[in-house]
Amino acid sequence: RIVYVNGDYLPEEEAKVSVFDRGFLMADGVYEVTSVLGGKLIDFDGHAARLARSLAELDMAQPISHEDLLAAHRELVARNGIEEGLVYLQITRGNPGDRDFVFPDPETTPGTVVMFTQSKPGLAASPAAKTGIKVISIPDQRWARRDIKTVQLLYPSMGKMAALAAGADDAWFVEDGKVTEGTSNNAYIVKDGKIITRERSSDILHGITRAAVLRYAAEAQMEIEERRFTLEEAQAADEAFVTSATAFVMPVVEIDGVKVGAGTPGPVAGRLREIYLEESL
Ligand code: PDD
């Protein structure tokens, strides 16, 4: 695999980042995941815009222009022959040459930019979309700025492990009795034809797929309510699903061992997945 590090395209074995990089020592970095379908980037502009926002919220300079970022994404997709898969992008506050809590001067310490691809043949035709996934609930113990897409993914990773240990596929976070989101996706329920998903705030990541799916749902005259919902409400819903750049629209058929609706993927999630993939291709 050819990866990108600070302007260079290198075989992955030759790509190196310093032990003093703040991304490594302090999780001081942000990332984006853009999916690739039919060799094309999906919603690159949305991901680039959120990246700029994440960097600004952390007082980090953007070390690469929008144009160069897009060119590098395309170059990696081409060089690695990606038809279906994703491009991962990470920008950290760089390597100040030592460990220090004080932010380094961006003039002398530029950010570290890393990009790589993951090939995922069959991503769009995922069998999980036909069976649906099972989730468990766990308390949301992440930091309170989940709207910034930082690389602090230990707790979500622990949530994923707890889900697998429980025989499920993923976890939904719950805070103050309400579902925030999934470990790496936004959460939705459907009741009496209405799509319900938590409103945007610093409690959740503002999903790029979420924005697209809500736009398509509105265009298809589906009813949408942006508000918080409880786990009990989700278990009693007609349908549940999640969205992300890599899962697209993925039905959820079981929550903490309780079947949602008939316990099979519902028509609203199915229709939204279809529309999303059609519009993206
Ligand atoms: N995760 N919420 C969280 C906590 C996420 O990590 C993600 C994305 C989403 C969905 O955002 P989007 O639709 O922009 O992908 C919501 C990516 C895919 C990941 O960590 O791999």
Where do the structural domains in the chain lie, given as residue ranges? Answer: 2-119, 128-280
2-119 adopts what CATH topology? D-amino Acid Aminotransferase; Chain A, domain 1 (3.30.470)
Q: Which of 186, 246, 273 to mutate to test the pocket of ligand 1 (most atoms within 8 A of CB)?
A: 186
Index of the ligand 1 atom closest to the CA of residue 209: 13
Spans in the chain with pLDDT lower than 70 = none
- Say if pTM beats, i.e. exceeds, 0.95: yes
pLDDT digits (tens, 9 = 90+) for 30-57: 999 999 999 999 999 999 999 999 999 9
* pLDDT tens figures, 2-13: 999 999 999 999
pLDDT of residue 7: 97
Q: Tell me whether the CATH fold assigned to 2-119 matches the one assigned to 128-280.
A: no
Residue 225 CA to residue 211 CA, distance in Å, equals: 13
Is residue 259 part of the annotated active site? The answer reads no
- Residue 44 phi, psi (nearest 5): -55, -40
What is the structure's pLDDT at 200? 98
**128-280, CATH topology level:** D-amino Acid Aminotransferase; Chain A, domain 2 (3.20.10)
Give the Å distance between the CA of 243 and the centre of ligand 1: 8
Ligand 1 centroid–CA 67 distance in Å is 23
